[in-house]
Structure 1
Amino acid sequence: MMDAINKRVSYDIGCMKSLRKLPDKVALRFMDMMTRYMSDPSSNGLNLETVEGAKDSSIKSLRVDQGYRAIAFEVARDIMFVHVNEHDKAYRWAGNRRVKLDPDTNRIRVVEELDVTVVETEPQGAEEPRLFSTVTDKRLKALGVPAEEMPAVRALTSIEGLETAEEGFDPLTYQILYALAAGYSDEEVYALTGVPEETETAPETPLTDLTFDQMIETAESRQTIFIPEDEKELRRVFEEGLEGWRVFLHPDQRKIAYRDYNGPAMVRGGAGTGKTVVAMHRAKHLADQIEQDLTQTGQRVLLTTFTTSLAQDIEANLRTLCPEHLAARPPRIEVINLDRWVSQFLKRKSFAREVAFFGEARDRLDQIWREVFDDHELPEGLSEPFIRAEWAQIVQAKGLMDQRAYLKVSRAGRGTPLDRRKRAALWGIFADYRARVVSEGLAEPDDAYREAIEILSSEAPNLPYAGVIVDEAQDMGEQAFRLIRAIVPEGPLGDRNSLFIVGDAHQRIYGRRASMAGCGINVRGRSKRVRLNYRTTQEIRSWAVSVLEGVSVDDLDEGSDTLKGYVSLLHGVSPELVSSTSEVEELKGVSTWIRSLPSENVRLSDIGILCARRADVDRVSAALQGDGIETVVLQAGADDRSVPGVRITTMHRAKGLEFFAVAIPFLSESAFPPPGALKSAVDAADREDILTQYRSLLHVAATRAKKALRVSWSGTPTKLINDHAPNLG
C-alpha cells in the first residue's frame, strides 16, 4: 500500500447513513479505525481486500470486526468509504456497485447495475401501474438519473416502495425520484438537486476530462462526499452527527459561502433554507484565508446578529464546525450580538452615558417619558403611545437630530398623518425628552449606535476585522446597519469580501427594518437566494407559509420579496390542528402527544414547546412536570441537547433552533396575539404592523419543526390561522 501521505480518505453519504443503522459498538469500532486509517492506512489490521465477483475492480472491503465489513472504492490515491454492514450483506451490496464519474451532474456517484429480471422489489398485481410510468427515460436522464439505475426505477410501483428501496439508489437518484413522485416540476427538481439544466451554459473545461481526484473536489460531489482535512475534523464529524449541514452543503450553498465578492453580498431565503449555515461556512472560509495569509495576522471575522441567544447558539455550532478558529489567540472568528458589541466598544472609548438596553436604565427612560408628558400638552388627536412610537420609528430610527430634518422626513407606513404644525409641536416634546435623557447620563440603543459611528468616522480606528457577517438582518434597523458599514468602511482598494448579510423579511419579528442602499451598503448584483428548505417537511412548510398569506414583504433593500420557489424535499404528516374546550384539556393533550412520539427515535430534548408569552412557558412546564415529563426551560445561552427534558421556551427565543417535533399551544383568538400587544397599537396602520409581526412569529415558530407539528387552542382559534384550519384538520 502507498505511503499514508499520498492517500486521501473520503466518505460518501451512503456510508454515513449505513453507520446510523449499526450497533453502537460497531459504529464506534469503525470510527476508531478511521481515525487510525487517516494517520497510517498501512498499519496492522487496516488492509483493504478485493471483493470477489464485484463488477468494479476498484471496490474493496475492510474488516471492522468478526461480523462486519466496510466497503470502499480505491482509485489511485483516493479511498472513498461507501458502506458498512454485516459481512454477507456488505458483500451482496458491493457486488453490483461501481463508481461513476458523471459529467452530466458534475459529481462522483455510486450506482448499482442490475438486470431487469432481478429488480422486482414489490409484489406485482396483474395491472398494477408503475410509479414512473408517465416519465420517459429521456426525461429521467435529463434530470440526472443514470442509465444503470433505470431498471430499478421502472420496477417501482409506489412511493412507499421507493422509500423502502432508498439504500439501493445513488443518493442523488433518490432525491430526484422522490421529488418527481411528490409532483415537483423539472425546474424545482433542478433547484433541489443542484443538477445543471440542459439549457445552462456549458463549463469552459469539459467535465468529461475530469479524473476521479478532480471530480471528487467539485461542489456537486462535495454535496454528498465528505473529505476530512485531519483526524480532529474526522472525529468531530463522527461524534457530532455524520449527515448534517456541517459536512454536506448543497452546491448552491457552497458556491455562495466559498467564493470571493467584490463588494457587500446578501443572501435571502425562507426559514430552514440554511442561511445561518451559509453564514457560518462563510465565516470559516474567511477565517481560513486569514490563517493562510501572513499579511492578515491578527485579523478576524466578526459574525454578529440581533439577539444574545442566537449569537450563543451560532458560537456553539462554530465550535463544532471550525473550533481551531475560535480557539486561536486572538480568535479568528468573533461571535457577538450587535448591542453587546456597541456596549463594549463605547466602554473602551470611555463613553460617559449608560446605554439603556434593558433593566433599570430602561425603566428610567419610561419614567422620563412620563415626566415629559406631564409637562407638555399633546397635539390634538395624538396619544402618548403614538408619540413614543413616532420617536422610536421615525426620529431615532432615521437618526434625526434637528427640527428641520423632522419636518422634511418621509413618514411612509406610519398611518396617522401629521401636518407641519403638529410636527413642530412634537419636536418640542422630542427635544425635551432627549435633553433629559442626556442630563440623566443615559442613552438609548440608537444613540449608542450613532455615538459609535461618530467615533469610528472621526478616529478612523484600525479595527481588526477582515470582514463582517450579519445573520438575521431583518431584525436590525437603520442605525445598526449604518454602524456595520462604519465598522468596515469601503476602502481605497474597494470593498472586497467586506460584508456578508443574511436575512428573510418573512421572519421579521421585531418590527425594525432598513434598506441596505439607504445605509450605504450596495448589494446590487451580489444578492443571492436559497430556496430549498432542509429542515421541515413540505407539509409543515406549506402550513407555515399559509400563515403569511396576503402579507407584503420587502427584500431588505428597496424592493419586494417572495417565497416563490421555496420548497422542501422531505415529506411527512400534515400538522395537527387541535381544538380543546379548555386550556387544562389543551395542556393534557400536549402531554399525550409527547408520549405518542416514537421514543426510540425521538429524545425528549428533540421536542420543543413554543409559547407566545413568558408566563405561558412556566404554565406549560408546570403542567408537563405534573404529568411526570422532564422539562428544560430555555432562556439565555446555548441549548445543550445532552441534558434530558422537553424544551420549553418563547417563540422569540426559539429563533435559530430546530426540533424533531414542535407543539405551539394557546393559539386562541383571545390569547394570540396577546391582548396587551394589540392594545398598544396607536392607529390602524400600527395595529396591522403588529398583526404582521405575530404572523411572522407564528411562521418562525412553526418552521422550527422538522417532522411533526402540533398547533392547538381552546375555544375559538386565532384569526391568524382560522382561514387555514379547516383545510388541514
Structure 2
Amino acid sequence: MTATMTKRVSYDIGCMKSLRKLPDRVALKFMDMMTRYMSDPSANGLNLETVEGSKDSSIKSLRVDQGYRAIAFEVGRDIMFVHVNEHDKAYRWAAGRRVKLDPETNRIRVIEEVDAVTEPVVIQAPAAPRLFERVPDARLRALGVPEEELPAVRNIPTIEAMEGAEDRFDPLTYQILYAVAAGYEDEEIKTLAGVGGERDAEAQTPVADLTFGQLIETEQSRQTIFIPDSEAELRRVFEEGLEGWRVFLHPEQRKIAYRDYNGAVLVRGGAGTGKTVVAMHRAKHLADQIQEDPTQAGRRVLLTTFTTSLAHDIDANLRTLCPAHLDARPPRIEVINLDRWVSQFLKRKSFAREVAFFGEARDRLDEVWRSVFDDHELPEGLSEPFVRAEWAKIVQAKGVADQRSYLKASRAGRGTPLDRKKRAVLWDIFADYRARLISEGLAEPDDAYREATEILNSEAPNLPYAAVIVDEAQDMGEQAFRLIRAIVPETPSGDRNSLFIVGDAHQRIYGRRASMSACGINVRGRSKQLRLNYRTTQEIRAWAVSVLEGVSVDDLDEGTDTLRGYVSLMRGAAPLLVGCKTEAEELEGLVAWLRGLPADRIRLSDIGVLCARKADVERVHGALRAAGIETVLLQSGADDRAVPGVRITTMHRAKGLEFFAVAIPFLSNTAFPPPGVLRAAVDAADREDIVIQYRSLLHVAATRAKQALRISWSGAATSLCDTALLNAAALG
C-alpha cells in the first residue's frame, strides 16, 4: 500500500464470487476503480454511501456504474468489499448482513440475519424432511456455525438446495455444513475448516479483545479475506478470479508451512490439496527468516523438483508470491530441477564424464549396451530388456557397487526370480557395462547423483543452502534423495528446518520409488497430510480416484497410503464420457465440445487437451487448427496464460498445471496404455507396474480439471478405467 493511503481496502472472497457472475464490463470497471485508488488514493477517494434500512451502520455502498453497486463494510480505517450486484439486488443482499467479530473462530465473518430477509432461503412444504434435522444446535455451534445462521440451516432440505444457496452463508459456515453432510467426524471437520486447535503462541492480545483492524489480519480471516500489498498483486487476483487466491493458505496449510521443525518434514496429500502451494509458502517463510537475520546473509533456500517444466511453473508462481526473494542478489530462493542442479554442480567440480540426461547422450547409452550384449551370453530365460531393467531398478536405483552386494540385494517388486548363479552372470555384464561407460566418458543420471553425493560427503563444500524443499517427491528415486540429504546434512546441533518434502505416491508417473528412511531422511513424527481438494469438483475428484481403485500405494517412506478423507467441497457436473466409432469422429466431437464451452466464462487459455503420446498431441493440434480454434502447444517452459489459445500437451507435461476445463481423448483399449509400452514389459510384474503407472497418469490428467472434464475413446474404452467409467455413469 502507498504511504499516502488513509484507508486499508480488503476483499472478502464473496466479493470475488459475486463478480464472476456479472458481465465482464462491470468487473473490469470495479477493478479499474480499485486499482486507481491504490495507485493514488488522495485523488481517487472511495465515495461510500450508507445503505438505508440496514441493521449494521458500518455497511456501505459504492456506485460502480448507473446500474451496479458494490457493498462494503467500513470500520475505522478499514474498508472491506463483500458483494457486487445490480442496484436493487445489491441493496437487498446488504439489508440483512452484518459484520461479526468471532472470537471463537478467530476471524471476521459476514453474517446474514434470516429475519431481515424478505424471501426465504428455501421454499418447502412444512412436513418435508430437512438435511440437518438430526444435528443438534449445540453441535453446529461448537463446530463454528453462528447462532444467527441456525434458522437458515434448519430450512435446508437437501445438499443440492444447500449448494444452490451457498452465497447466502458465511464461507466458513458453508464448509462446516458440507463436511457435516458428508459424514465427517467433528475433529476432522475442525481440521478441514481450520476451527479450534492451538492459536498463534506469539499472539499476546486475548482474541476476544481484538478489534476489526486486528482480527482481519489473523491467519483464519486471511483464509477468505484478501488484503493486497501492491497494485500488481490486486490486479493479479482480480484477473485470475478465485484462482488468484491459490497463493493464500487455508489455516491448516499455513500451520504446516509457517512453523519451525526439529527435523525433516514430509507432507502428503491427494491431487489439488495444495501441496505445491504449501511448498512455495515454506520457501517464502524460510527466505523471510534469512532476510531478517544478518548472520544468514548470502544463504538461500533450494526448491527443487523432478522436471524442468515444473521448476519453470513454480518459479513463475513464486514471482507472484514473493518476487523480492528471487530478484535479490544473491537470490534467497533458487528454483531448479534436480537434474539441472547436478549437472551444474559436477561441471564446477570438473567431472570428466558426460551425464546422459537426454538427447544424443541417451542414444550413446544404447550403443554401449549393444556392444555389451554382443560380448556376453545371457542366462537362460532372460532377455536384454530384462537385464537393462534389472540394472536400472536394482543396481542403479539402490546404488549397488559390487558383486557381493548384488548377491544380497533385495529384489522386491521384480517378477522373474534369479538364483545365485544367474545373479553372478548378470554381475559380470553389469561390471562390463559400467567399465565401458567410464571408457566412453559417459554417466547415467544415478551415477551423477552418486558422484555429487560422494563429493559433498568427502569435501563438505560450503554450499549456500539453509534448506532444501522438494516438490513432487514421488517422482524421485533413492539416489536423488541421498543427494538431497547430502546437500543439507544433519549437523551435531540437529536438523532444524533443513528438509521439507511434499508428494503423493498416487501421482507417481515415472516409476521411481524411494523410502525416506532408507535415504537417511527421518520424517517419523513429522509426517503431515492434506485432505481437502481446492481444485476440482467432487464429481471429477471421485472419477479420478476411481481410476486407482484396487491399487496399493506407499506413503513415500515405509508404510502405505490411502485417499481416505480426501474430499472436495465444490460440486459440479459429472465428467462427460463419450464413446465414438472412429478417431475422426472423436476429434469432431472434441471440436464441437470446445465450441460449446461458454466463451463469456472460460478463456481458451483455461482449457487443456491432454494426450498420452506426442503423436496424439500433433493430431489434436492439426484438428483444432483446421477448425479455426486458436491453440498453444505446451512443451518446456512456463505456461503464460496471457497468450490466448487452447493448451495442447502430454499428460506428463500437464503435471502441476490446472485448467477450468480438460479434455482427454484417445482412451481406447488399443491406445491407452500405448501398445509399444506394454510390449516392452520384461515380465508380468513389469507389465503390472506399467499398468499402475498409466492409471496414475490418467488420475493426474483428470485432476488437472477444475470444473469440466471430457473423456473420450473410439471403439472399446481402455480397460484401465472400466470401473471408473461405470462409477462416473452412476454419478451422472
User: Structure 1-normalised TM-score?
Assistant: 0.93
2:337 counterpart of 1:337: yes
3-state SS of the aligned residue for 1:462? coil
Match of 1:425 in 2: 425
Q: Deviations over 1:602-646 (max 9, x none)?
A: 222222221111111111222232333332221111122222222
Partner of 1:463: 463
Q: What is the aligned partner in structure 1 of residue 348 from structure 2?
A: 348
Query: In 1, Cα distance between the equivalents of 2:542 and 2:620?
Result: 27
Structure 1 residue 691: Cα displacement:
1.1
Q: Does residue 453 of the first structure (1) align with residue 453 of the second (2)?
A: yes
CA distance in 1, matches of 2:405, 2:371: 25
In the alignment, which residue of structure 2 is the partner of 1:708?
708
Quote the Cα distance in structure 1 between the aligned partners of 2:259 and 2:605.
Answer: 36
1:532-571 correspondence runs (5 A): 532-571=532-571
Q: Which moved more, 1:57-66 or 1:346-355?
A: 57-66
SS of the residue 1:417 aligns to? coil
Deviation of 1:358 (Å): 0.9
- 277-286 or 574-583, which moves further after superposition? 574-583
In structure 2, the partner of 1:118 is: 118
What SS does the aligned partner of 2:554 have?
Answer: coil
**Contact 2:515/2:558 (CA < 8 Å) preserved in 1?**
yes
Whole-angstrom CA distance in 2 between matches of 1:306 and 1:186: 38
1:594–1:462: structure 2 CA closer, same or farther, 3 Å change rule?
same
Asked if the contact 2:586–2:665 (Cα under 8 Å) also holds between the matched residues in 1, the reply is: yes
Determine helix, strand or coil for the equivalent of 1:229. Answer: coil
Query: Aligned partners of 1:78, 1:308: CA distance in 2, in Å?
Result: 43
Determine whether 1:678 maps to 2:688: no
Match in the other structure for 1:603: 603
Decide whether aligned partners of structure 1 residues 5 and 461 sit closer, same or farther in structure 2, where only a CA change above 3 A counts: farther
Q: Does the Cα contact within 8 Å between 2:247 and 2:277 map onto a contact in 1? A: no
Structure 2: 5+ residue runs without aligned partners? none
Distance in 2 separating the partners of 1:188 and 1:584? 48
Deviates more, 1:63-72 or 1:336-345: 63-72
Matches within 5 A, 1:316-715: 316-715=316-715
Cα drift, residue 81 of structure 1: 2.8
State the distance in 2 between where 1:354 and 1:6 align: 61
CA distance change for structure 1 residues 167 and 574 in 2, over 3 Å: closer, same or farther?
closer
**Distance (Å, rounded) in 2 between the aligned partners of 1:430 and 1:401:** 10
Give the equivalent residue in structure 2 for 1:146. 146
Task: Please name the residue that 1:253 is paired with.
Answer: 253
Q: Distance in 2 between matches of 1:724 and 1:225?
A: 38
1:400 aligned partner, one-letter code: V
Aligned CA RMSD, in angstroms, stands at 2.7
1:597–1:178 distance in 2 versus 1, CA, 3 Å: farther
Select between 443-452 and 42-51 the one with higher mean Cα deviation. 42-51
Measured in 2, the distance between the counterparts of 1:137 and 1:330 equals 56
Corresponding position of 1:219: 219
- Bigger mean CA offset, 205-214 vs 520-529: 205-214
Given that 1:16 and 1:243 are in contact with CA atoms closer than 8 Å, whether structure 2 keeps it comes out as no
Q: Measure the CA separation in 2 of the matches of 1:21 and 1:597.
A: 16
> Structure 1 residues 362, 190: closer, same or farther in 2, change over 3 A?
same
Q: How does 1:28-427 map to 2 (within 5 A)?
A: 28-35=28-35, 37=37, 45-46=45-46, 48-64=48-64, 68-115=68-115, 118-125=118-125, 127-159=127-159, 161-180=161-180, 186=186, 189-196=189-196, 207-241=207-241, 244-427=244-427
Instruction: Say if 1:296 and 1:425 are closer, same or farther in 2 by CA, change over 3 A.
Output: same
Alpha-carbon distance in structure 2 between the residues aligned to 1:685 and 1:601: 46
Separation in 2 of the partners of 1:20 and 1:714?
A: 36
Alpha-carbon shift at residue 375 of structure 1 (Å): 0.3
Aligned AA for 1:405? S
Q: What is the rounded CA distance, in whole Å, between the counterparts of 1:572 and 1:308 in structure 2?
A: 33
Measure, in 2, the Cα distance between the counterparts of 1:630 and 1:36: 33
Preserved CA contact (<8 Å) 1:116 1:152: no
Q: CA deviation at 1:535?
A: 1.1
- Deviation of 1:436 after TM superposition, in Å, equals 0.7
Cα distance between partner residues in 2 of 1:197 and 1:317: 30
Please say if residues 46 and 63 of structure 1, whose CA atoms lie closer than 8 Å, have aligned partners that are also in contact: no
Q: Distance in 2 between matches of 1:112 and 1:569?
A: 21
- Give the distance between the partners of 2:418 and 2:311, measured in 1 at CA: 39
Letter in structure 2 aligned against 1:488: V
Range 207-216 or range 564-573, more displaced: 207-216
Amino acid at match of 2:141: K
Paired AA for residue 425 in structure 1: V
- How far the C-alpha of 1:44 sits from its partner, in A, is 5.8
**Distance of 2:120 and 2:80 partners within structure 1:** 30
Give a deviation string over 1:100-137, Cα, whole Å, max 9, x none. 12233222101122317734245544644445444443
Q: What letter matches 1:311 in structure 2?
A: A
Give the Cα–Cα distance (whole angstroms) in 1 for the partners of residues 497 and 562 of structure 2. Answer: 27
Residues 244 and 187 of structure 1: is their aligned pair in 2 closer, same or farther, counting only changes over 3 Å?
farther
Per the alignment, in what secondary structure is the counterpart of residue 401 of structure 1?
coil
Classify the secondary structure of the residue corresponding to 2:553.
coil
Residue 589 of structure 1 aligns to which amino acid in structure 2?
A: G
Distance 1:622 1:495, change over 3 A: same
**CA 1:242–1:507 in 2, change beyond 3 Å: closer, same or farther?**
closer
SS at match of 1:196: coil
Q: Structure 1, residues 24-59: CA drift from partner, whole Å, max 9, x if none?
A: 455445445444655775656335554444322333
* Residue aligned with 1:724, SS: helix
- SS in structure 1 at match of 2:595: helix
1:7, CA displacement in angstroms? 5.3
- Sort the Cα spacing of 1:182 and 1:696 in 2 relative to 1 into closer, same or farther, 3 A: same
Q: TM-score, normalised by structure 2?
A: 0.93
How far does residue 61 in structure 1 lie from its aligned partner after superposition? 4.1
Cα distance in 1, alignment partners of residues 579 and 39 from structure 2? 59
- For 1:725 and 1:29, the matched residues in 2 are separated by 44
Any gaps of 5 or more consecutive residues in structure 1? none
- Asked if the contact 1:13/1:224 (under 8 Å) is kept, the reply is yes
Question: What is the identity percentage for the equivalent residue pairs of Structure 1 and Structure 2?
Answer: 79
Aligned counterparts of 1:408 and 1:444: Cα–Cα separation in 2: 23
Give 1:498 deviation, angstroms.
0.9
Of the structure 1 ranges 352-361 and 617-626, higher mean CA displacement relative to structure 2 is found in 617-626
Q: Could you tell me whether the CA contact under 8 Å between 2:96 and 2:116 is conserved in 1?
A: no
Q: SS of 1:496's equivalent?
A: coil
CA–CA distance in structure 2, aligned partners of residues 535 and 220 of structure 1: 20
For the residues of structure 2 that align with 1:30 and 1:600, how far apart are their CA atoms?
18
Tell me how far apart the structure 2 counterparts of residues 479 and 404 of structure 1 sit (CA, whole Å): 20
Letter in 2 for 1:607: I
